[in-house]
Amino acid sequence: MPDTQSLPLKKWSVSVEHRREDVRRMFLGAIAPSQRAKVEESLAAGRYTGVGLHAWLDSIISEETYLPSEIPPSLVQAYFDYPEALPLHNCENCGLHIPIVPSPLYGFEGETDHVLFPTCPSCGGRTGWYLPHMAAGQKSGH
């Protein structure tokens, strides 16, 4: 007789893996063909390479952000130019996660070491910490 308490966990983990693979496929499809092989290689190499790309992919899988139909090549290139970059800023208008270089002094929640995109490369909106949430609060009057 199977252990019924472990069945939901097995079912959940299988669906998460399917979702991860589906989102990964869509993510790669949204990247410019000239960058796709390098991103795929970085994602396949594990979490010790391409940490920012993995974090961005995880945020899409967990539905913290959306996947645009086309990812601006400059955004992808930032993760290769700055291996320590993480998707910790957001666009005020479209909500896209934007990479920054966290400060070694202040960590993830303090001042950034380097703002890579003061404006969103996808829509031109302002970028920063939690801007979509602040904009939503202003629209609703909070």
The residues, any chain, with a CB within 8 Å of residue 53's CB and separated by 6 or more, are 39, 42, 43, 76, 79
Domain that holds residue 29: 7-140
Which pLDDT tens digit goes with each residue over 21-66? 899 999 999 999 999 999 999 998 876 677 899 999 988 888 777 7
* Residue 1 belongs to some domain of the structure: no
Rounded CA separation 25/39 (Å): 11
Strands (E), the chain: 86-91, 97-103, 107-115, 127-128
* Residue 105 belongs to some domain of the structure: yes
Query: Is 138's pLDDT higher than 60?
Result: no
Structural domain tally of the chain? 1
* Residue 2 belongs to some domain of the structure: no
Which pLDDT tens digit goes with each residue over 85-137? 999 888 988 888 999 988 766 555 656 667 899 999 999 999 988 665 544 44
Mean pLDDT within 4-21:
53
User: Starting at the edge strand that comes first in sequence, how are the strands of the sheet with 86-91 ordered?
Assistant: 107-115, 97-103, 86-91, 127-128
